[in-house]
């Protein structure tokens, strides 16, 4: 849900609550005004009837609701003294409607020629059910009209006002640090959007500079570390060929060479992860993984034979995706190498490819791996001295950049399964 509709949702409910409360207050006030007006009219009718009786006593005998809006009957003095003006709502039968209708009645007492009388004066009033129904439909129409007006204003006026924001958002979506370009902003007179444009532009400039510095640092670090490591390894290998050295010295040199080789692999892996996470592998293309898998499987055939692991490839459909070709090769290589290195003697690695993805199935340790830790850096599933513990971390870094899913499971046949697929 976009921001405009999100705010409108709360506006609709707020309007509904406000209009409902206002309707109740309006109804109560309107009923009170109607009753006050009717009571004033009844008070006036009462005075007219009393004056009429004073001038024409025969009016008492002609009184009655059948012919007039008042009725008079004689009462005792004690009852008349305690009687005060009493206004009430009642129901009376009417000939035109042929049903009981609401009336307002005033009951009072007066004296004429030392005789006390009770006087009732009535006036027709509104049917509250009809009033409530009419008010409900009127308010419903008002609410609908307000909502339609808000929607029109939102989609015509407010959407135009938010154009600079949406244009900036669209540019941010396609912006890439490796292009070394500043982000363009839309000219606007709105203060908040101006501040947003300035803030985003400054942030992007800083990010581009930081990216350039980090890229340069990674390249320098990779070069400065790999060069002395390579020189040291070459010198140690030459030293190990010296026939005058004792066997103990040669073993010590061999251990140092092994350590330096592992350090060199670790350095390459860390540099690779940094480059991946900093999007330094920019160019993407449609990569057909079927062909790539055949090439990489052939490259790792010798390693599989040394490990006494058989490789099986099953092509059930073409799997292709938009990805950097080098990263695609690194992704497949690391998953295949992981399946071979963490296998058992005379084990198997099955690679299944289909239109939906690639599945690596390998034998190995007879217990499931910890899915919370297998993709962490320097987390090794074995005690191998040659492993850096970064293979699956590199895979995870590549997966996180592109629209892929990587799932792991352990089946009843004690097989470890890694499945790469495109997110839906």
Q: Encode 146-201 in three state secondary structure.
A: HHHHHHHHHHHHHHHHCHHHHHHHHHHHHCCHHHCCCCCCCCCCCHHHHHHHHHHH
pLDDT of residue 103: 83
Distance between CA 197 and CA 186 in Å, rounded? 8
Residue written as token pair 């009957």: 73
Query: pLDDT of the chain along its 424 residues, tens only?
Result: 666 667 777 777 888 888 888 888 887 888 888 888 888 888 888 888 888 888 888 777 777 777 778 888 888 877 877 778 888 888 877 776 677 778 888 888 888 888 888 888 888 876 666 777 777 788 788 888 888 887 777 777 777 777 888 888 888 887 776 666 677 777 878 888 888 888 888 888 887 787 777 777 766 766 667 777 778 878 887 877 777 778 888 888 888 877 777 777 666 666 666 666 666 666 778 888 898 899 999 988 988 888 899 999 999 999 988 888 888 888 888 889 888 888 888 889 999 999 889 999 998 877 777 555 565 544 555 544 445 456 677 787 778 777 788 888 888 777 888 888 887 6
Q: Which residues of 25-49 are buried (b: 16+ CB within 10 A; e: fewer)?
A: eebeeeeeeeeeebeeebeebbeeb
With contact defined as beta carbons under 8 Å apart, do 110 and 157 qualify? no
Return phi, psi of residue 382, to 5°: -145, 175
SS3 category, 54 = helix
| pLDDT tens string 100-124 | 778 888 888 888 888 888 888 888 8
Angle formed by the axes of helices 391-401 and 325-341, to 10°? 150
Residue 299 C-alpha from the chain's centroid = 45
Contact 390, 375 (CB under 8 A): no
- The domain made up of 285-422 has a fold known as Heat Shock Protein 90 (3.30.565)
CA distances to 1, 14, 17, 196 from 154, in Å: 14, 17, 21, 21
How far is residue 291's CA from residue 298's CA, in Å, rounded to a whole number?
11
The whole model's pTM is what? 0.46
Listing DSSP states for 83-148 in one string gives: ---EEEEEEEEETTTTEEEEEEEEEEEEEETTEEEEEEEEEE---HHHHHHHHHHHHHHHHHHHHH
Task: Report helix, strand or coil for 417.
Answer: strand
CA-to-CA dists, residue 403 to 70, 203, 398, angstroms: 87, 26, 10
* Predicted local distance difference test score (pLDDT) of residue 272: 66
User: Is-contact 73 53, C-beta < 8 A?
Assistant: no
Residues 93/122, Cβ–Cβ less than 8 Å? no
pLDDT at site 99 = 73
Whole-angstrom CA distances from 398 to 294, 375, 391 are: 20, 12, 11
Domain locations in the chain as residue ranges: 3-144, 192-277, 285-422
> Residue 104's CB: how many other CB atoms inside 10 A?
21
Q: What is the CATH number of domain 192-277?
A: 1.20.58
| Torsion region of 64: left, alpha or beta (phi above 0 gives left; psi -120 to 50 gives alpha) | left
Token pair listed for 205: 């400039």
pLDDT for the residue 76 = 81
The neighbour count for residue 309, using CB atoms within 10 Å, is 22
Pairing verdict, β 86-94 and 99-112: antiparallel
pLDDT computed for residue 80 by the predictor: 77
Cβ–Cβ under 8 Å, residues 115 and 79: no
Tokens at residue 115, please?
Answer: 């005789």
């Amino acid at each position: 849900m976009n921001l405009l509709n999100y705010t409108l949702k709360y506006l609709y409910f707020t309007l509904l609550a406000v209009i409902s409360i206002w309707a109740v207050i309006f109804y109560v006030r309107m009923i009170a005004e109607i009753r006050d007006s009717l009571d004033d009219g009844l008070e006036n009718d009462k005075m007219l009837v009393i004056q009429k009786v004073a001038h024409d006593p025969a009016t008492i005998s002609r009184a009655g609701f059948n012919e007039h809006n008042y009725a008079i009957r004689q009462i005792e003095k004690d009852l008349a003294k305690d009687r005060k003006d009493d206004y009430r709502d009642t129901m009376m039968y009417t000939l035109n409607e042929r049903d009981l209708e609401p009336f307002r009645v005033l009951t009072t007492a007066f004296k004429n020629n030392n005789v006390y009388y009770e006087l009732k004066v009535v006036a027709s009033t509104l049917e509250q059910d009809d009033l409530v129904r009419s008010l409900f439909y009127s308010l419903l129409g008002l609410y609908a009209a307000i909502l339609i007006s808000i929607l029109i204003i939102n989609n015509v006026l407010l959407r135009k006002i938010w154009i600079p924001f949406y244009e900036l958002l669209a540019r941010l979506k396609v912006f890439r640090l490796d292009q070394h370009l500043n982000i363009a902003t839309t000219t606007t007179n709105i203060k908040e959007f101006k501040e947003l444009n300035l803030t985003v532009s400054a942030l992007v400039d800083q990010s581009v500079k930081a990216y350039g510095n980090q890229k340069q640092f990674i390249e320098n670090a990779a070069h400065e570390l790999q060069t002395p490591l390579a020189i040291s390894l070459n010198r140690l290998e030459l030293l190990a060929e010296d026939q005058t050295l004792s066997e103990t010295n040669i073993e010590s040199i061999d251990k140092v060479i092994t350590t330096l080789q592992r350090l060199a692999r670790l350095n390459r892996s860390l540099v690779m992860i940094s480059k991946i996470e900093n999007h330094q592998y920019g160019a993407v293309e449609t990569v057909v993984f079927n062909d790539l898998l055949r090439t990489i499987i052939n490259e790792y055939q010798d390693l599989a034979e040394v490990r006494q692991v058989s490789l099986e490839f099953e092509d059930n459909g073409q799997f292709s995706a938009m990805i950097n070709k080098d990263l695609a090769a690194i992704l497949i290589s690391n998953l295949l190498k992981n399946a071979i290195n963490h296998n058992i003697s005379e084990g198997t690695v099955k690679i299944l490819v289909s239109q939906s993805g690639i599945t690596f199935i390998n034998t190995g340790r007879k217990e499931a791996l910890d899915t919370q830790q297998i993709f962490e850096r320097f987390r090794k599933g074995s005690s191998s001295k040659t492993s850096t513990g970064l293979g699956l971390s590199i895979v995870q870094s590549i997966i996180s950049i592109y629209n892929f899913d990587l799932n792991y499971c352990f089946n009843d046949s004690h097989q470890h399964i890694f499945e790469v697929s495109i997110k839906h």
